[in-house]
């Protein structure tokens, strides 16, 4: 089964540990609107932008969304014993858009840090992949990402369907050392448990699309 069939891919040792320490220093020095959980819209940080354009990252993204893979959003997740949370099984369905679309399949709408967001239909989400770069070692004890393979092929799911798949499909823990990358389709059901060991799990979550223009009149915002 290919990674497109699975809806995720784990690639170890894409970057060196030293390179990840450099990214952490750049993020610490950047003027970001941080919360305990991390920071939104960090693609404007030069070191993050450079990482997103790295040929190794783009090469992974192209395997999922094609030759014109374009980075459009980056988020820092900062999970630790001090900022600890449980994430239940879900799909990522909100996308940043340049302008509002008068179409009932888009929405509800919201504004996050000045960027317009809408929950998107499946056809749009199928043009997106997230590459999660491990800035620290992602371990079984520090709340790693867990996925339900091949669920991205089921379209947008309701609560009952999600509960059913969580019972029926064996979850995979996406652990990766510092410098590893986990690629994941947004429609893949995923979750994470709480940290049980006092070791941070900082993830740079960079999203790529087949192109910023998903369809006529539908253009992603860069965040």
Q: In sequence order, what E strands does 64-155 have?
A: 70-79, 87-90, 94-97, 109-112, 115-119, 128-134, 145-147
Counting every residue written for the chain, the total comes to 223
For the segment 144-179, what is each residue's pLDDT rounded down to a tens digit? Answer: 899 999 999 999 999 999 999 999 999 999 999 999
Give the model's confidence band at 63: pLDDT under 50 very low, under 70 low, under 90 confident, else very high: very high
Q: What's the CATH number of domain 3-213, 1.10.1670.40, 3.40.30.10, 2.60.120.620, 1.10.10.10?
A: 2.60.120.620
Amino acid 96: pLDDT: 98
- Give residue for tokens 């091949």: 150
DSSP 154: G
pTM for this prediction: 0.95
Strands 145-147 and 181-184, how do they pair? Answer: unpaired
Residue 110, φ and ψ in degrees, nearest 5: -155, 170
pLDDT averaged over the chain? 93
Residue 52 contacts by C-beta under 8 Å, 6 or more apart in sequence?
43, 71, 74, 206, 208
Straight-line distance from the first to the last Cα atom of the chain, in angstroms, rounded to the nearest whole number: 33
Interatomic CA distance for residues 26 and 36, integer angstroms? 18
Partners of 134 in the beta sheet?
A: 203
The domain limits of the chain are: 3-213
Residue 117 contacts by C-beta under 8 Å, 6 or more apart in sequence?
94, 95, 96, 97, 109, 110, 111
Give the model's confidence band at 83: pLDDT under 50 very low, under 70 low, under 90 confident, else very high: low
DSSP 142: B
């Amino acid at each position: 089964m290919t990674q497109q069939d699975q809806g995720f891919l784990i690639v170890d040792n894409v970057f060196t540990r030293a390179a990840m320490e450099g990214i952490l220093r750049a993020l610490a020095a950047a003027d970001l609107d941080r919360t305990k959980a991390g920071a939104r819209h960090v693609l404007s940080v030069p070191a993050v932008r450079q990482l997103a354009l790295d040929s190794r990252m783009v090469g992974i993204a192209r395997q999922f969304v094609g030759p014109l893979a374009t980075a459009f959003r980056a988020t820092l997740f900062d999970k630790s014993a001090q900022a600890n949370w449980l994430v239940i099984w879900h799909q990522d369905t909100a996308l940043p858009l340049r302008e509002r679309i008068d179409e009932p399949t888009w929405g509800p709408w919201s504004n996050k840090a000045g960027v317009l967001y809408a929950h998107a239909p499946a056809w749009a989400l199928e043009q997106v992949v997230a590459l999660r770069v491990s800035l620290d070692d992602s371990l079984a004890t520090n709340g790693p990402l867990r996925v339900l393979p091949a669920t991205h092929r089921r379209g947008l799911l309701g609560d009952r369907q999600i509960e059913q798949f969580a019972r029926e499909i064996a979850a995979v823990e996406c652990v990766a050392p510092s410098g590893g990358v986990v690629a994941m389709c947004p429609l893949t059901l995923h979750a994470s448990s709480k940290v049980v060991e006092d070791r941070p799990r900082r993830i740079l979550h960079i999203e790529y699309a087949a192109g910023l223009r998903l369809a006529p009149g539908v253009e992603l915002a860069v965040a």
